[in-house]
Amino acid sequence: MEIISSCSQIQQTCMQARQSGRTLALVPTMGYFHDGHLSLMRWAREYCDMLVVSLFVNPAQFGPGEDYQRYPQDLDNDVHAAMEEGVDILFTPARSSLYPDGFSTWVEVQGLSGKLCGLTRPEHFRGVTTVVCKLFNLTCPHKAVFGQKDWQQLIIIKKMTRDLNMPVEIVGRPTVREDDGLAMSSRNAYLDQELRKVAPRVYQGLLMVRGRFESGQDDRLELELELRSYYQRNLPQAEIDYVQIVDSNNLEPQDRVKPGALAAVALKLGQARLIDNILLD
Ligand code: AMP
C-alpha cells in the first residue's frame, strides 16, 4: 500500500491508472476506522482494480464549538487496517494542501443541505460536498462508496454528481452495527461506559417505530411523537436534536407515511452526537 499526501501526486497517479484502463474506486473517510469503514473498503475492493481510501478530518464540515479539535485519530491503526483490506493507496492530505490560504470556492447542494442535520449544522453539508468534490477531482474514481448511516450525506452527494455531471457512480452501503445494534461510528469513542450501555436504545427506538408502521400506523406526526416519547422514556440522558420521518429520496415530510420512507434521528448523548436511521417498508 502506498501512502500519498501530495495532491499533485495522487492526481497524477490516479489519472494515469484511469488512462491505462484500470477501474478506480474511492472510499472517503475521516479515519479512526471501524467495521463500517472496512465494509465499504471490502465492497470497493471486489469491484475495482485500484482502491483509494482518503483519510482527512475535514475542518470545513465542523461548525464552531463542534469536535474538530478532538476528533479521534489513530493513524497507525488505520494504516494497518487499510493494508489488511488490500487498499492500494491511502490518501492523507494535509489541511493546508486541501485548503491553502485564500481558498474561497464552495460546492453547495441547496435545499437538501438545510434539512435534518442541516437544521442545527447549517454549514456542515457545504463542507462535505466541497471536500468530496475536491477528492473526486484528485482521484477521478469510477465509483465512490458511502455508508447509509449518513443517509442525508449519501443523497446529497448523489444529487451533487447528477447536478454537476460528475463522471462517478455513487454507491450506498448498509449500516454496520455493533452486536447490540448501535450503529458503528468513530464518535462512539466519546461515550463513557454508562452511556455506551444505553446507546443501543437509539436503534431500538427506530425498530419500534418500524414495527408500528408495519402494524398499520401511517400517521407521520403520530409516529414521530411515539418515537420522541420512546426516547424521552428510555433515553432520558439524551438531548434530542431531531426525530423525523421523511421521504427517503428528497427528505420531505409526508402526512401519510409510505413504504420506503426514512425514519431519521440525531441525539446528543454526553459528548457524542449520534445519528441513525431506518427505512420503513
Ligand atoms: P466518516 O469517517 O465517519 O466520515 O465515515 C466515512 C464513511 O463511512 C462514510 O461514507 C460513512 O457513511 C461511512 N460509515 C460510517 N459509519 C458507518 C457504519 N456504521 N456503517 C457503514 N458505513 C459507515
**What is the maximal distance between C-alpha atoms in the chain?**
59
- Whether 158 lines ligand 1, by a CB cut-off of 6 Å, is no
| Cα gap 148→168, rounded to integer Å | 18
CB 9 within 8 A of CB 97: no
- Determine the structural domain holding residue 210 and report its residue range: 186-280
35 band by pLDDT with thresholds 50, 70 and 90: very high
Percent over 90 (pLDDT), the chain: 100
**Average predicted confidence (pLDDT) for the chain:** 98
| Cα gap 133→129, rounded to integer Å | 6
Nearest CA to ligand 1 atom 11: 147
Tell me, yes or no, whether 181 lies in a domain: no
- Whether 29 lines ligand 1, by a CB cut-off of 6 Å, is yes
Q: What's the domain count of the chain?
A: 2
Task: Write down the pTM of the prediction.
Answer: 0.98
Q: Which of 26, 150, 173, 179 to mutate to test the pocket of ligand 1 (most atoms within 8 A of CB)?
A: 150
190 band by pLDDT with thresholds 50, 70 and 90: very high
Q: Could you read off the pLDDT of 133-157 as tens digits, one per residue? A: 999 999 999 999 999 999 999 999 9
Residues 121, 149, single domain; the answer is yes
Residues 62, 145, single domain; the answer is yes
Sign of torsion over alpha carbons 17, 18, 22, 27: positive
Beta bridge partner(s), residue 261:
247, 280
Distance (Å) of CA 128 to CA 93, 125, 206, 253: 15, 5, 26, 24
- Whether 244 lines ligand 1, by a CB cut-off of 6 Å, is no
Is there a catalytic annotation at residue 34? no
pLDDT of 178: 98
Instruction: Give me 223's grid cell.
Output: 409516529
